[in-house]
Amino acid sequence: MILNWHQKVNLDSKSYICGYCGNSIASAVGYLADHYNHGSQQSGHRAYIYICHKCEKPTFFNAISLEQTPGAKFGNEVKDISDEKVAKLYNEARGSFSQNAFTSVVLSCRKLLMHVAVSKGAPEGQNFIQYVEYLSDKNYIPPDAKEWVDHIREKGNEANHEIVIMSEEDAKDLIGFSEMLLKLVYEFPANIKKKKAPPAPTA
């Protein structure tokens, strides 16, 4: 199949979540490609590239399958993560989701939870289950979310030790849990400190 790309044009407006900046947008500017069989027969538009008007980056859409590349990241940004490695792993997990790399998402979240536990005082060199139990025992995980602990343990061990491929649902579960934990451990406490901080002196 040959795709013949045209110059940037006005397209039919398309709403999507940008896989780069995460904004929900409606773009009408980009590129289109025709599909030619054996370089002769034109059979209509088969691919589009839309340009995000927020970050100016391109997103590819297959006009037949409607697949988006890069896809939208799952989960929300978490502010005030003081541990650089934790922030990097969370972003890595969300980025892997946008590439449909769901097993990589689960493994990244597994590693992320271990880093969070160590950053909150757990000794290094323990296994994944011990780190999750540490977070639970130290009440970083709310009591009503304790069932999640067993679910995270199960999925984390499956991805790491068994010959299985994680699903989109598994990846969403792990990112959702990680987001909740990171907000409780980093974002919410930092927000309270900001609110209680004395006002800056005026000149």
More confident residue, 44 or 167: 167
Place of tokens 């997990």: 93
Residue with tokens 């984390």: 156
For the ranges 3-17, 55-69, 81-95, 136-150, the maximum mean pLDDT occurs at: 81-95
Class of domain 84-196 (CATH, top level): mainly alpha
Average pLDDT of span 177-203: 85
pLDDT for 79 beyond 80: yes
Task: Please tell me the predicted confidence (pLDDT) of residue 184.
Answer: 92
Q: Which of 30-44, 94-108, 188-202 shows the highest mean pLDDT?
A: 94-108
Rounded CA gap, 167 and 101, in Å? 9
The share of the chain scoring above pLDDT 70, in percent, equals: 86
Residue 187 has pLDDT above 60, yes or no: yes
Task: Provide the residue ranges of all domains of the chain, joining segments of one domain with +.
Answer: 2-69, 84-196
Q: pLDDT tens digits, residue range 109-166?
A: 889 999 999 999 999 999 888 888 898 889 888 877 777 777 777 776 676 666 678 8
DSSP H or E segment with residue 89? helix 84-98
The per-residue pLDDT for 132 is: 83
102 exposed, middle or buried (CB, 10 Å; 0-12, 13-18, 19+)? Answer: buried
The radius of gyration of the chain's CA atoms, rounded to the nearest angstrom, is 22
Task: Say if CB 43 and CB 11 are below 8 A apart.
Answer: no
